[in-house]
Structure 1
């Protein structure tokens, strides 16, 4: 039940953000936002308390970790409540107090891991992969927004006109869909090798997800203004940054075998890095082409799809040859 309440408060967060866009930095707007944060943080605290009281936590969790976590979860709602009251007098001070207590809460966490180096590494990446899968699915769903908007704007036009407008935007949509799919596939391959995680990996993954979630608006811009050099550069830049974030994740995880198996040798690490680097490099190089011939960029981008298909075919052939070798060995 507490988890449902926590998720409901998280889902409500975009509504409060819209209030900021619509009404600016007013005291009442901040208080609505802060109230949702109180519900979220207080619910999280209650979940933690229930887990401790009912002995639902791992018995091997160090007592000091329990104390630090309790303090951190307690500090954030207290600071948020203070900010609600202070907002009646000065909204800027209220926001500053909110940020101060939020940073204080995270500092307590950092303090624990500084005192217990090595304890920040946790086995498994299931939750990271799960949220990545979900947010990628959301991004793919919203890619269709450009086509939906075009259809709605032409709803009073003859059917042939509306259909022509929709068909005109399909290439950009299909290309973006494939690129997001390829990035998800690369993410999947990387996390098949990564065995552990820490907070830095989580934040890097969130940065990657931010780039993924920016795909729909940049796709809409490019589909709406296909002849604009600026929108094409922005689209290519977003694709490049997305791929580079994936590369950063891999390099961070692989450095010194920080989060990957010791059995992975250097050549495999370099091979994966080069494979991840290829798509963003194509988009970076395409910016030079865009500066001269905007309409040729998409043909250059098709290299990403061609190379990905070649890689998939190569992997399939290699797996087949390995199976044949095993079969012969068994005989």
Structure 2
């Protein structure tokens, strides 16, 4: 099957997810009667704003990873087609744990739910790459053993960090944010340097 329709559908889902994230940002229903009260209301939704910004970037990173993975293939089989549907189902869930984390950033349970979902998405990236590696008939001309190794090493960073965030949240919830932020810094600042060819 031609991969263009799969990528177009996936892009649409990513766009909807990113749009839904902003819906959780809203001021309290009480009306401000002074600038001081308005600023206090804005400060009260700071966790929602920060969670929105962070999660927006995370979804963007997942979109880039999805793009790079499917650039490795020239056509898709049934496994990639239906696997991508389940993948998009987990991506579409992101606004829920993001809203949960924004409202309860100090609770280990909200951190675990949020990190577990992001980790599960990262693991699905690795499953896609492994499937492409084992089926040479699907591989694009740019595919190579070196690219497979690089994709696996880069792809492991996220799930490992998110798993560590889950564990550290049981010790101190705020310490886990270091491990939640680490993949974001890595993928934006350093991951592209591991690819010799743009994909």
The aligned residue for residue 156 of structure 1 is 31
Contact residue 154 and residue 162 of structure 1 kept, 8 A: no
**Equivalent in 16, 19, 23 of residue 145 of structure 1:** 23
* Residues 92-118 of structure 1, C-alpha deviations (whole Å, 9 max, x = no match): xxxxxxxxxxxxxxxxxxxxxxxxxxx
Q: How many residues align?
A: 194
Q: Normalising by structure 1, what TM-score?
A: 0.55
The CA RMSD measured in Å over matched residues stands at 2.1
Taking the aligned partners of 1:164 and 1:234, their CA distance within structure 2 comes to 25
Alignment of structure 1 residues 113-192 onto 2, 5 Å: 122=1, 124-148=2-26, 151=27, 153-157=28-32, 158-192=37-71
Instruction: In structure 1, list runs of 5 or more residues that go unmatched.
Output: 1-121, 320-331
Q: Normalising by structure 2, what TM-score?
A: 0.88
Taking the aligned partners of 2:153 and 2:189, their CA distance within structure 1 comes to 15
- Summarize the Cα distance change of 1:289–1:258 in structure 2 as closer, same or farther, 3 Å threshold: farther
Contact residue 71 and residue 140 of structure 2 kept, 8 A: no
Answer with 1 or 2: which has the greater Rg. 1
The aligned residue for residue 150 of structure 2 is 271
- Summarize the Cα distance change of 1:154–1:299 in structure 2 as closer, same or farther, 3 Å threshold: farther
Deviation of 1:173 after TM superposition, in Å, equals: 1.3
SS in 2 for 1:197: coil
Q: Which runs of 4+ in 1 moved over 4 A?
A: none
Does the alignment pair 1:302 with 2:181? yes
- Summarize the Cα distance change of 1:299–1:251 in structure 2 as closer, same or farther, 3 Å threshold: same
Does the alignment pair 1:244 with 2:130? no
Alignment of structure 1 residues 1-331 onto 2, 5 Å: 122=1, 124-148=2-26, 151=27, 153-157=28-32, 158-261=37-140, 264-311=143-190, 314=193
- Summarize the Cα distance change of 1:313–1:251 in structure 2 as closer, same or farther, 3 Å threshold: closer
Taking the aligned partners of 2:17 and 2:147, their CA distance within structure 1 comes to 31
Taking the aligned partners of 1:296 and 1:126, their CA distance within structure 2 comes to 42
Taking the aligned partners of 1:167 and 1:263, their CA distance within structure 2 comes to 44
Deviation of 1:258 after TM superposition, in Å, equals: 4.3
Deviation of 1:199 after TM superposition, in Å, equals: 2.0
Q: Which has the higher helix share?
A: 1
Higher relative contact order (CA 8 A, sep 6+): 2
Instruction: In structure 2, list runs of 5 or more residues that go unmatched.
Output: none
- Summarize the Cα distance change of 1:234–1:254 in structure 2 as closer, same or farther, 3 Å threshold: same
